[in-house]
């Protein structure tokens, strides 16, 4: 009987850890980490669905981002509210949508090692999250 081989993804492709960094909610999550996953094809930022005070950053499968490998990513921001924005900052990165505009915007973002934050500027004390890059 032939035993199937397992596919191995080279470490050079990078990986990230998904846990709860806001994940569609305000705030920035616990201390747990999950198993490494393959480098996501894209990142998705969501803010203001139904004018809710929620902001989040996920991979394209909906898993909240807590840690990413350094590199270049496609970031699509779904800004669904005229009272909110999505503002991502960190080492060499400053991307945002604007109040009162709504819609979908896509950016190419290159992350270097460090800590990155995302907030809704008008409601930063309630709507924020962060993640690390290594």
pTM: 0.70
Q: Looking at residue 50, what is its pLDDT?
A: 93
Query: How many Å apart are CA 130 and CA 56, to the nearest integer?
Result: 9
- Under 8 Å between Cβ of 76 and 70: no
Q: pLDDT digit of tens for each residue in the chain (134 aa)? A: 443 333 333 333 333 333 333 333 334 334 444 444 456 779 999 999 999 999 999 998 999 999 999 999 999 999 999 999 999 999 999 999 999 999 999 999 999 999 999 999 999 999 999 999 99
Q: What is the DSSP secondary-structure string of 53-86?
A: S-EEEEETTSPBEEEE-SEEEEEEEEE--TT---
Fold of the CATH domain 16-24+38-133: Immunoglobulin-like (2.60.40)
């Amino acid at each position: 009987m032939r035993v199937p081989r397992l596919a191995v993804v080279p470490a050079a492709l990078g990986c990230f850890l998904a846990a709860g960094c806001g994940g569609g909610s305000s705030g920035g999550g616990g201390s747990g980490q999950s198993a490494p996953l393959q480098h996501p094809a894209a990142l998705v930022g969501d803010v203001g669905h139904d004018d809710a005070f929620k902001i989040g950053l996920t991979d394209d499968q909906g898993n909240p981002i807590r840690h990413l490998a350094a590199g270049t990513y496609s970031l699509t921001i779904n800004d669904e509210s005229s009272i909110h924005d999505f503002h991502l900052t960190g080492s060499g990165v400053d991307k945002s949508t604007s109040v009162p505009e709504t819609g979908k915007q896509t950016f190419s973002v290159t992350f270097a090692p460090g800590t990155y934050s995302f907030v809704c500027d008008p409601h930063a004390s309630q709507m924020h999250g962060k993640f690390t890059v290594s």
